[in-house]
Structure 1
């Protein structure tokens, strides 16, 4: 008998196949026909769920952002860490997720996906901004931070970091990127009114 799958299951299967192909072959070298063949579906079925390969990439990217938001919110709501520890934990887990989904991140940065890139950055700023603002407010209460407008402040920081490190136009070398990340961390500490070096020290401990 032919197995009938729910729309959610079928859509998730198509996304999983596409993700694996993007990982192994790269986004640009993956054709819709190959996704259809490996998913074992008709081409019409593919287009029932997705308008194009770009539509699939957008869905995968949104999944990544949603996962970042869920994990960040769990950290923000926890009671076992102070605000600086939470900020560092959120940064670390986001870096891990990006590394795990590097194929998706790289695909989003392609010139032909510029509009998607901009939409996702807006989504990140709107979703992660309030979560990080919650942590900054906690830091204000703990006298670890001194920020008058937590949400606006962190959204400016997010926008700056996404532009500086999420744009291929700069073509940073590894050394240049590291230098700018260290400079941004110092800037974040100063902007939040944190003790100099507090976040850097915790980040180094997380990486060791």
Structure 2
């Protein structure tokens, strides 16, 4: 029986769809390449034509999730009724809402990426997400500078710094998730909420805003994220 010929982008999307479903159902470690190609109805040779490894597939999946998330958040960045500070705060609020909605899937992904042996993979995935977000954040900062809301001499460099600061959350999120899994929800939520609050303060000071201007965490976010799913 001849397999239907499909465009490469369609085959790639099908593999990503299968991988996402299996990773989220079984976990990354318990899903093999054979599982994915069986679900997609492809040969192993076809799989390796599109992806060099299972790790490369996870990286591509993370980039797709980041693109989808940014597409959801784009209206907040374009909202003409908000000033630059309002758009930045709306971006944080919208991101937290998506994180709670996708918490079960994200926790499965984080469980893989936060392992010490996966540091290189974590940075590859983070780089893919940062490259997508960087121009959007830089544009927001540039418009804020034009409005006089931010003191940002180089929007692209400052956007990169804001995104780089996020890397400190790898260890914090890993610790919070481990504590939550052990039943210590209160301590885990307190740890995550406090570090996110301080992230907001760091952004305030980088942009020369009064402390508390940027709301990097909404009340109850950490608990909702850690308990979801």
Determine the structure 2 residue equivalent to 1:185.
200
Partner Cα separation in structure 1 for residue 73 and residue 139 of structure 2: 11
- Which of residues 160, 165, 173 is equivalent to 2:169? 165
Cα deviation, 1:70-125, whole Å, max 9, x if unaligned, reads 44555334423211121122223333444524033443333343222212333444
Determine the structure 2 residue equivalent to 1:38.
39
Check whether the contact 2:20–2:61 (CA below 8 A) recurs between aligned residues: yes
Determine the structure 2 residue equivalent to 1:141.
146
Runs of 5+ consecutive residues of structure 2 not aligned to the other structure: 177-187, 222-229
TM, length-normalised to structure 2: 0.75
Q: Which moved more, 1:85-94 or 1:70-79?
A: 70-79
Q: Are 1:131 and 2:136 matched, yes or no? A: yes
- Which of residues 181, 195, 199 is equivalent to 2:214? 199
Shift of 1:32: 1.4
Check whether the contact 2:197–2:217 (CA below 8 A) recurs between aligned residues: no
Check whether the contact 1:129–1:154 (CA below 8 A) recurs between aligned residues: yes
Check whether the contact 1:76–1:134 (CA below 8 A) recurs between aligned residues: no
SS of the counterpart of 1:132?
A: helix
Check whether the contact 2:59–2:124 (CA below 8 A) recurs between aligned residues: no
Tell me: CA distance 1:97–1:112, structure 2 relative to 1, closer, same or farther (3 Å). Answer: farther
TM, length-normalised to structure 1: 0.81
Tell me: CA distance 1:97–1:177, structure 2 relative to 1, closer, same or farther (3 Å). Answer: same
Runs of 5+ consecutive residues of structure 1 not aligned to the other structure: none
Determine the structure 1 residue equivalent to 2:226.
none
Shift of 1:129: 2.7
Q: Are 1:174 and 2:189 matched, yes or no? A: yes
Check whether the contact 1:109–1:167 (CA below 8 A) recurs between aligned residues: yes
Tell me: CA distance 1:206–1:73, structure 2 relative to 1, closer, same or farther (3 Å). Answer: farther
Determine the structure 1 residue equivalent to 2:5.
4
Partner Cα separation in structure 2 for residue 138 and residue 38 of structure 1: 46
Tell me: CA distance 1:203–1:176, structure 2 relative to 1, closer, same or farther (3 Å). Answer: closer
Shift of 1:155: 1.7
Shift of 1:26: 0.5
